[in-house]
Amino acid sequence: MHPSVPKRRRGARFPPAVRTGALAALLLLAMLPATSHAVEEPAYTVVQTFPTFEIRQYAPYTVAEVTMPPPASDAGNRAFPILAGYIFGKNKGERKLEMTAPVTQTPVPVKLEMTAPVTQQAGSEGVLVQFVLPKDINLQNAPEPLDPRVMLRAVAPRRVAVIRYSGFWSDANYGQHLNQLQQGLRAAHIAWKGEPVLSRYNGPMTPWFMRRNEIWLNLD
């Protein structure tokens, strides 16, 4: 299930922790420019193009990541200040890193029993939120996080199917395009595995029709 900030109903009030986390997330995302080309992103080549999606081969890159426990609705908000602290100097040596794109989120799947039907939707024991680190940063030269919740990981080269879309960061918009990507893969007889990854390239100040959003499905 795609984590998103819950909609505020008239008269409803979010708990202070949620409001604080949301503000921190918005401030960080606001630092991303209106166009994704202004910041560094992982290197890839387009392997094949289809009417509604494309297949990319990504080069290896390094991420800083944190796994947030349920609920998923505000996991991204809670993760952003933690990861932002790391790249903005909360590390040994107080080294500040450049902001890159995208910021990704994906469910952490629960291990299912062997008897589970293949049509069953995997549950989630949390949400993995990742910041892609600059290309000159790897596990050997990355500053060590001071927050034990922040983990560094090398992402191996991989092939993914990607659908790109604009618009609001809503569950409906996400679900519509995830379904479109999966239908396109089935029609092309291409199998995927694992949980979908939501990638955001722009801040909340970017008009909804100019936002670059992507969903990735792993083909390796």
DSSP letters of 28-65? HHHTS-SSGGGS----EEEEEE-SS-EEEEEPPEEEEE
Count CA within 13 A, CB hemisphere, residue 125: 5
Whether the model pTM is above 0.75: no
Identify the structural domains of the chain with CATH numbers, from first to last. Answer: 36-60+156-220 (3.30.200), 61-155 (3.20.80.10)
Secondary structure of residue 202 in the 3-state scheme: coil
Secondary structure of residue 204 in the 3-state scheme: coil
pLDDT in tens, the chain (220 residues): 444 433 434 443 433 433 444 444 444 554 444 444 457 889 999 999 999 999 999 999 999 999 888 766 677 778 888 988 998 899 998 899 887 888 888 887 543 333 322 222 223 468 888 888 999 999 999 999 999 999 999 999 999 999 999 998 788 998 999 999 999 999 999 999 999 998 888 776 789 899 899 999 999 8
| Residue 38: exposure state from Cβ atoms within 10 A (0-12, 13-18, ≥19) | exposed
Q: By C-alpha distance, which of 128, 127, 131 is closest to 63?
A: 131
Taking the C-alpha atoms of residue 130 and residue 154, their distance in angstroms, rounded to an integer, is 12
